[in-house]
Amino acid sequence: MKVLVLNCGSSSIKYKLYDDDQQLADGLLEKIGTAQAQLNHTIAGRKKVVSVHEVLEHQAGIELILRALVDPEKGVLASMEDIQAVGHRVVHGAESFSESTLITPEVLAKIEECIDIAPLHNPPNLAGIYAITNLLPKVPQIAVFDTAFHQTMPDKAFMYAIPYVFYARNHIRKYGFHGTSHCFVAHEAATMLGKPIDELKLITCHLGNGSSIAAVDQGKSVDTSMGFTPLEGLPMGTRCGDIDPAVPLYIMGKEELNLQQINALLNKHSGVLGISGISNDFRTLEEESAKGDRRATLALEVYCYRLKKYIGSYVAAMNGADAIVFTGGIGENSDVVREMVVKDMEFLGIELDIDKNRARKRGEAADISKPSSRVKVLVIPTNEELVIARDTRRIVSET
């Protein structure tokens, strides 16, 4: 089955076209809303083609992508009718969705209701769904939610200690994100370990520009670091992560900042960028740290120390762990971060093999722990789009 996977952000659209599990094409359209939108389009096994267009909104962007897919030279489909289903990444499904689902008018209405608690993320996801409804009206569409995997968290893990009325009335609770990735790498880890997932306790670390960690017990998420929004938890590229809630209130008073300004400060100017004052890119931070920049080093230390503490807390929450899994741009590629996080954790049965960690090849899954390590340390490349394509195929075949 040919499935188009769409991940629509506020000014960008990522896409991958699959035939069953085989990737036929992928690409990224950036700077939507301008006359300088850039389309990077790659057919599997061929060179990337880059082109610049005026793309003022998402539907025009998706039309451009569809045209690229059927282009006689740079395309891969004979006709748009070859697309049998479209899978959408939808960031927030709140408590309405604990699994991927066929998009019906009722489902659409519920995704729209979630705009209230995901004002930045759900609107572009919805724009993608509406665009496909207009452009490919007969094609079934499936929503795959970032939050769904974490709906198995018990209430003691998701409840905030604020008056209960805010949960009951305003749905304020921990939701968690990156669920597709945590779910994917947890299952891959079970395969690597040669055990059924329902016999495993796993700690999955999705470390990218946005970072989160999850405790996965018997295949179910029982806790995760992101919260009501993706701002909670680990410090990230530009997001502050866990912080004393009194701090923003104090800064707002001192600096006379309004809500929008403090929101931007915590989401866009904090994290490792805020501490280092240099960059949110871990490659740059590692380079500057190696040259002796103290604040770049401090940013890396804060990030890794917080991650280490989360791992310890999830070992406690699950009464053990069989493996720690690293994924995401940083988790997959930074041996420096992995070493800083898991070294000196022998007390918990975690023994890193430093040589294997450094030698691990890009793009490959690897066990980087010593044979004696009670808790395995794994690096597993994530593939959220493949999960979306598989869920889409399964749901369309069942309906």
Residues that bind ligand AMP (CB under 6 A): 208-209, 237, 280-283, 286, 328-330, 333-334
**Angle formed at CA 101 by CA 84 and CA 208, multiple of 5 degrees:** 90
Shortest distance (Å) from residue 53 CB to ligand AMP: 24
Tokens of 79: 């006709």
Shortest distance (Å) from residue 211 CB to ligand AMP: 8
Beta strand 85-90 with 323-327 is: unpaired
Judged by beta carbon, residue 337 or residue 395, the one nearer ligand AMP is 337
d(CA 149, CA 222): 10
Helices 246-255 and 259-268: crossing angle, nearest 10°? 120
Longest dimension (CA), the chain: 61
Shortest distance (Å) from residue 332 CB to ligand AMP: 8
Judged by beta carbon, residue 80 or residue 386, the one nearer ligand AMP is 386
> Half-sphere exposure of 393 toward its Cβ, with a 13 Å CA cutoff?
16
180 contacts: CB under 8 Å, gap ≥ 6: 89, 144, 146, 149, 384, 387, 388
d(CA 58, CA 14): 12
Judged by beta carbon, residue 175 or residue 282, the one nearer ligand AMP is 282
Active-site position among 19, 20, 21, 146: 146
Would you state the torsion angle of the CA atoms of residues 182, 183, 186, 190, taken in this order, to the nearest 10 degrees?
A: -170
Residue nearest to ligand AMP (CB): 329
298 contacts: CB under 8 Å, gap ≥ 6: 275, 276
> Half-sphere exposure of 127 toward its Cβ, with a 13 Å CA cutoff?
22
Catalytic annotation present for 146: yes
Shortest distance (Å) from residue 125 CB to ligand AMP: 18
Judged by beta carbon, residue 158 or residue 310, the one nearer ligand AMP is 310
Task: Beginning with the edge strand found earlier in the chain, give each strand of the sheet holding 323-327 in spatial order.
Answer: 220-224, 211-217, 201-207, 323-327, 376-379, 366-367
d(CA 211, CA 109): 29
Judged by beta carbon, residue 147 or residue 280, the one nearer ligand AMP is 280
Give CA separation, 82 vs 39, 46, 69, 72, 90, in Å: 22, 21, 10, 14, 24
Shortest distance (Å) from residue 230 CB to ligand AMP: 12
d(CA 6, CA 28): 10
Judged by beta carbon, residue 97 or residue 177, the one nearer ligand AMP is 177
Shortest distance (Å) from residue 330 CB to ligand AMP: 4
Shortest distance (Å) from residue 120 CB to ligand AMP: 16
Beta partners for residue 140, in sequence order: none
Judged by beta carbon, residue 140 or residue 237, the one nearer ligand AMP is 237
User: Looking at the annotation, which residues are catalytic?
Assistant: 146
